[in-house]
Structure 1
Amino acid sequence: MSDHPRPPTEEPRLTTRRPARSRPRHPLHVVAAMPLALAGLLALLVSGNALRPFDRIATVDGKMASKSDYFKDPEVRRLLLKHGIRVDIHRLGSRGIATQSLRDMDVVFPSGQPAATLIKKRQQRTPKTARPFVTPLVLGTFRDYARTLVAAGVARPQRAPGGAETLYYDLDMRKFMQLIRDEKTWNGIDFTAHSRRSNAGRVLVRTSSVCESNAAGTYLSILAFVQNGNQAPGTERRNRPVRRITGDPVLDVATEVKPLINLQGMAADEQADSYFSDEGEAIAPVSLIYEHQFLKHQVDHQEKRGEQDSSRVLLYPSPHALTEPELISLDDDGDRLTDLMETDDDLRRRAIELGFRVRFSGEDGTSEQLNAYLREHEVQVPTPNPDQTKVDAPDLDALERIINHVGSCPPPGQEGPR
């Protein structure tokens, strides 16, 4: 046993810690964003779109020609989605739509009445249709060429406000056709007197394919109407003396106008893409387009650059042709889209913003709505030609015969040469 006493045993110490701060249940950035999220939710509830992600979106398949530009527009797509509709576009020329299979399509949207009539004749039921807007057929050119035509006595400038350079010219089609028939060149009608450049090429209009395109077919109708003494081929009085070439009055006119149309056009209504490109003037001095394409370009140019595109101008043919695109439904989903195009104010308003003359209360009303929009955006308003002669298109059978004769078109359902 040891004589040394044991050291006293220390009592165990109880260590206490301060209670840790309780972590917030939500990260700070989430808390900060909550007012914005609530505001967005309220906006969706007020607009009626809160349940839109759970709605059924119907995809409407449609074969469309140049007026597919309307349904490609982002604002039009947004407006249609509000109604649960998405449009899937299959691009094809108007006459191609009329002559090829429409299987699995919900709607078709040819750019003019001849193709629309062909399509409706093929349907087993009476389809719902809508003609939401109209647009004139025009010739897009460049200022030096327009000035050359004015000096040659073929065109007349429309008056611009404030004495500015005009964007629009009225074109005498009979005199213009004579330039083409006589194989005149641009230099041959003194182009060099109005430009620092030279162009020894022939005076021609670059068109799309007459076998597929409403624009080219309508232009052909203008040529045939003028060639036939301002009468639609096939409507002549029987005792009227006419020049006989083939023994068939309709084919006689087709034979006479065939040399006047440039058949090296593109497969569908795509001339506007070339005309508005940076190389447009090098591609073709004169291109067949629609008025709405030119007006939309001018509004966009004004918004981006604060001025009109004064290098590009329009020739309004006289006599004139007004194209009437028709949306034709083929089933129930197509009916929904057709009904909307007839009734929705926002869709009609957007059509005006895209340069169309929208149907409200007759043709006068359509033009005034568009004119007001152009003035608001500081774009010159086109004025009606004092000569209001309108082209009477041949009946469907006569027009088909003229198109086939001029274009040497393949049988319906077959693609032509590329």
Structure 2
Amino acid sequence: MAVDTAREEKALRELTSRLVEQYGEAHPPDRVEAVVGAVRKRFEGHSVRDFVPILVERIARRELDPLRAKNNTAQIVLAKSGGENGSPAAHSAESSGGFAGAVKRFVPAGLAQNKKVLALVAAGVVVVLAIAVIMAVRQPDSSSAPAAAPALTTVHGVIGSEKAAFFNDPQVADALAKHGLKVDFEPAGSRQIATSVDLSKYDFAFPSSAAAAERIQRQSGVTAKYTPFSSPMAIATFKPIADLLTQAGIVQQGATTTFDVEKYLSLAEKGTQWNQLDGNTVYPVSKNVLVATTDPRTSNSAAMYLAVTAYVANDNTIVRGTTAEDAAVSRVSRLFTRQGYTESSSDGPFQDYLANGMGPVPMAWIYEAQYVDAAVHNQLKPDMVLMYPKPTVLSQHTVVPLNDKGDKLGKLLTTDPDLQRLAAEHGFRPADASLFTKVTTAHQIPVDTNLVNVVDPPNYDTLEHLLDDVAKSYN
């Protein structure tokens, strides 16, 4: 099949599909196909093929929907060239032999048999035809105009603050709009969402852990949940601090940097200050060696910090039972109370880390996603370092749908390829690990893509008891 013929066949198949879809309510598919076939036959045997698909479509539309047809096609130009009684309808190109018949009507009867004259006139008609088709394309009729975009359904939610950048991304908004959704959200600490936020005015809640989601499910009587992505907990620090803690035996540097929680806990229990570390010339301040966290009474990231440190304090065993809870709290509560003021959500301390350097925040407990997102968007300074606590814990960002709109959003976030890809670009780990690896490789971000030293947080009730006991330590 010649290239031009193949192109024409493809164009005719596509226009047939368009017409079947557009006129499906008024005409059965076989009727539409029959009209297209009949119109096409009118142009058989003619060497000028460039505009045949367009002409076929215009004529077929006129026959399928005559009330909306426009008289601006090449067929109408040919029809208005004259004829008996001056009637265009009686002498249109398609009713008198197609292209050849139209050409002959441009030529006086005495010259009609002169092939050279006919050839010249045919060339002129082709020019007119081209101009007419261009005008038709530039001024399409209303039947081929694109349908107006459907109105978007707004889905209201309350989310962990670390996901605000994701939902504020115009690409995320566009991906959701393709499915008819627009997300309107308020940020809050994840434990705050689970304990004190009035959820009756929201369509979904999106805390940063399975434990907070479970509490929301219990309170709301909801069984459904979605986990579109996750993020391990990490520590954001600076190269001088990492070097200093390497000398102290707490940090180990390599392809990625690790932070020994057990050695750190022993150091912090003694109340060791930065200026008491041997050889400290880079950060000689009289402040306790502590990782800065959020408020455990409101924030999931602090609850994850408590889960890790309580595990280590309990002889590297998941905390179970009142005796183990009391023993763990007695060891780890000072990690919180000695910090002074703590913020209610994770975005606050991380923004301090980005903006103010190691003076106020030498180490910040964060979601890995926050650091990766900042790296992707060129917000990191050269001396900033990501450390993985050993052990760490995985934070499962979980959507709890509170109605059908929230359920639709949860499904989309979990299954839509574009939204999963965009989640990876914001530092989260979606179900397809290769998406996250692709982002971190492209931006040369040193992350541990194969985390193995990960512990499970205690069950929901135990974690709540630990959090409540730590909260009492503030008084």
TM-score by length of 2: 0.65
Q: Determine the structure 2 residue equivalent to 1:295.
A: 372
Mapped contact 1:140–1:286 kept (Cα < 8 A): yes
Which of 237, 240, 249 is residue 324 of structure 2 equivalent to? 249
Q: Determine the structure 2 residue equivalent to 1:375.
A: 441
* Structure 2 residue runs without a partner (length 5+): 1-133
SS in 2 for 1:51: coil
The 5 A counterparts of 1:252-291 are: 252-261=327-336, 262=339, 264-270=341-347, 271-277=349-355, 279-291=356-368
SS in 2 for 1:327: strand
Query: What amino acid is the match of 1:185?
Result: Q
Fraction of identical pairs, as percent = 30
**Aligned: 1:135 with 2:231:** yes
Residues in 2 aligned to 1:191 and 1:103: alpha-carbon distance in whole angstroms: 56
Q: Determine the structure 2 residue equivalent to 1:203.
A: 289
Mapped contact 2:437–2:449 kept (Cα < 8 A): no
In structure 2, relative to structure 1, the CA distance for the partners of 1:154 and 1:125 (3 Å cut) is: closer
SS in 1 for 2:388: strand
Specify which structure has the bigger relative contact order, considering alpha-carbon pairs within 8 angstroms and separated by 6 or more residues.
1
Q: Determine the structure 1 residue equivalent to 2:413.
A: 341
Residues in 1 aligned to 2:280 and 2:299: alpha-carbon distance in whole angstroms: 34
User: Structure 1 or 2: larger helix share?
Assistant: 2
In structure 2, relative to structure 1, the CA distance for the partners of 1:139 and 1:381 (3 Å cut) is: closer
CA deviation after TM superposition for structure 1 residue 90, in Å: 1.5
**Aligned: 1:81 with 2:177:** yes
Residues in 2 aligned to 1:226 and 1:63: alpha-carbon distance in whole angstroms: 32
CA deviation after TM superposition for structure 1 residue 378, in Å: 3.3
Mapped contact 1:186–1:199 kept (Cα < 8 A): yes
Which of 307, 310, 313 is residue 224 of structure 1 equivalent to? 310
Identify which range, 374-383 or 149-158, moves more after superposition.
374-383
Mapped contact 1:209–1:268 kept (Cα < 8 A): yes
> Cα deviations across residues 220-277 of structure 1 (Å, max 9, x unaligned)?
0111000001111116xxxxxxxxxxx8331222122111223521012222121111
Mapped contact 2:207–2:213 kept (Cα < 8 A): yes
Q: Determine the structure 2 residue equivalent to 1:62.
A: 157
Residues in 2 aligned to 1:377 and 1:287: alpha-carbon distance in whole angstroms: 22
Query: What amino acid is the match of 2:471?
Result: G
The 5 A counterparts of 1:162-181 are: 168-181=256-269
Q: Determine the structure 2 residue equivalent to 1:96.
A: 192
Residues in 1 aligned to 2:340 and 2:301: alpha-carbon distance in whole angstroms: 13
**Aligned: 1:406 with 2:470:** yes
Mapped contact 1:208–1:265 kept (Cα < 8 A): yes
Residues in 1 aligned to 2:402 and 2:459: alpha-carbon distance in whole angstroms: 25
In structure 2, relative to structure 1, the CA distance for the partners of 1:191 and 1:116 (3 Å cut) is: farther
SS in 1 for 2:184: strand
Residues in 1 aligned to 2:178 and 2:398: alpha-carbon distance in whole angstroms: 23
Which of 381, 391, 401 is residue 309 of structure 1 equivalent to? 381
In structure 2, relative to structure 1, the CA distance for the partners of 1:383 and 1:113 (3 Å cut) is: closer
Mapped contact 2:222–2:400 kept (Cα < 8 A): no
In structure 2, relative to structure 1, the CA distance for the partners of 1:191 and 1:291 (3 Å cut) is: farther
Which of 235, 244, 248 is residue 148 of structure 1 equivalent to? 244
Residues in 1 aligned to 2:260 and 2:418: alpha-carbon distance in whole angstroms: 38
> Cα deviations across residues 184-210 of structure 1 (Å, max 9, x unaligned)?
1122113634x3x53232101111110
Residues in 2 aligned to 1:401 and 1:218: alpha-carbon distance in whole angstroms: 14
In structure 2, relative to structure 1, the CA distance for the partners of 1:191 and 1:351 (3 Å cut) is: farther
> Cα deviations across residues 49-87 of structure 1 (Å, max 9, x unaligned)?
x521xx221111101113233212222112112222111
CA deviation after TM superposition for structure 1 residue 384, in Å: 4.3
CA deviation after TM superposition for structure 1 residue 332, in Å: 1.3
Mapped contact 1:145–1:191 kept (Cα < 8 A): no
Query: What amino acid is the match of 2:204?
Result: V
Which of 128, 135, 148 is residue 51 of structure 1 equivalent to? 148
Query: What amino acid is the match of 1:330?
Result: L
Across the aligned residues of Structure 1 and Structure 2, the Cα RMSD in angstroms comes to 2.7
Q: Determine the structure 1 residue equivalent to 2:455.
A: 391
Mapped contact 2:421–2:435 kept (Cα < 8 A): no
Residues in 2 aligned to 1:56 and 1:328: alpha-carbon distance in whole angstroms: 25
Mapped contact 1:93–1:213 kept (Cα < 8 A): yes
SS in 2 for 1:180: helix
Residues in 1 aligned to 2:443 and 2:466: alpha-carbon distance in whole angstroms: 42
> Cα deviations across residues 278-300 of structure 1 (Å, max 9, x unaligned)?
x1322211111111111121122
Q: Determine the structure 1 residue equivalent to 2:57.
A: none
Q: Determine the structure 2 residue equivalent to 1:112.
A: 209
Mapped contact 1:206–1:264 kept (Cα < 8 A): no
Larger Rg: 2
SS in 2 for 1:349: helix
Query: What amino acid is the match of 1:371?
Result: T
Query: What amino acid is the match of 1:117?
Result: E
Q: How many pairs does the alignment contain?
A: 333
Residues in 1 aligned to 2:412 and 2:173: alpha-carbon distance in whole angstroms: 13
Residues in 1 aligned to 2:360 and 2:213: alpha-carbon distance in whole angstroms: 31
CA deviation after TM superposition for structure 1 residue 182, in Å: 1.2
TM-score by length of 1: 0.74
